Structure 1
Amino acid sequence: MPAKFHLLTPPRRIARKTLAAATLAALLAAGGPAATETAPAVVAAAETESEIQRFCSSIADAARDRRYALQKMELETLQKEVDKRIALLEEKRAEYESWMKRREDFLAQAEGNVVDIYATMKPDAAAERLAMLDVELAAGILMKLDSRRAGVILNEMESKAAAALTGIMASAARREDPT
């Protein structure tokens, strides 16, 4: 035995096998009738300990395999849930894209109709209506009009509103980002 064990050493610091051997050695070293009477009990405890160890070591692989199988089943279940959610999200994405396509088609058609309406209006009436609209929307409409028609409408507008619209149209026509 490489180290002496004190009887007051807590058992959690000493391996069970080592503790049983140390106890047996201490009892045999003490001698006397009490030592010979308790020695078989310590030997029986050591044998029971080795049986427990053999049992645990023999089922360790099976227990590990079962634990892995349970983890694999849980991962497969989670994968199925993730796949269901992905399919649901893909379905929602397709629905959203379809809705966006319909919306864009409608806006393009409506935008074309609005531009056509302003193109057929009298220049003074178109100037008055465009002055009441949002500046960016009015500039967008004017940019889609024929340049001659847009010039006549801008000529009929108040000079501040026409300047603001012209500034927006010029900024939008730049090929480079001014910032």
Structure 2
Amino acid sequence: MERNRKLKIGFDSAILISAVGISFILLFLDTHIWIRVLAYLFVFFSALDLLIQLRKKDHKKYQTSENYGEAKAGQLVLLDEHDKPLKSWDLAGKTALILGKKNDEEEVDVDLTECEYSTFINDQHAVLNFCLDSWYLEDLGSQNGVKVKKVEDGGCYQVTNRPCRVSAGDVIYLASTRLLLT
């Protein structure tokens, strides 16, 4: 969205410069008055449009304390090999969730001990963090890795050295275990 706004400002600036140049040339040519008036009106409205674009503020909605922790994704769902839900975890009101296997020393928010491929999942395999209206997935140094299949392009991406933004419809792979954000 920010890129589109910058492009619009750039094009508006180019139009304004062109309009000013044409209007300046028309001052010295023997043209009808109505052509000059149209050129001056074009300059006026181009300048007005550019000023409006420059004064526009980005009106992103940042969450207030009342709805902090609620993102577009509301649940994390464990899927079987036929895409049937086996278990789910509510994300409402949460700011971070540790995904892994429960043991005597460490607690996890999403316990995958009982899933089919649990032997490939580390005790603390990954973390989901909520920040500025989005969820971010991060690998916690797992042996078998973390991948995300993005809903917008269908691509499957390895989560490596930095957090990956995830949204509703994305499928998270912890080794061979699949979790759907809904």
Write 1 or 2 for the structure with the bigger share of helix: 1
What TM-score, normalized by structure 2, do the two folds share? 0.30
TM-score (norm 1): 0.31
Report which of the two has the higher share of strand: 2
Q: Tell which structure's C-alpha radius of gyration is larger.
A: 1
1 or 2 for the larger relative contact order (CA 8 Å, sep ≥6)?
2
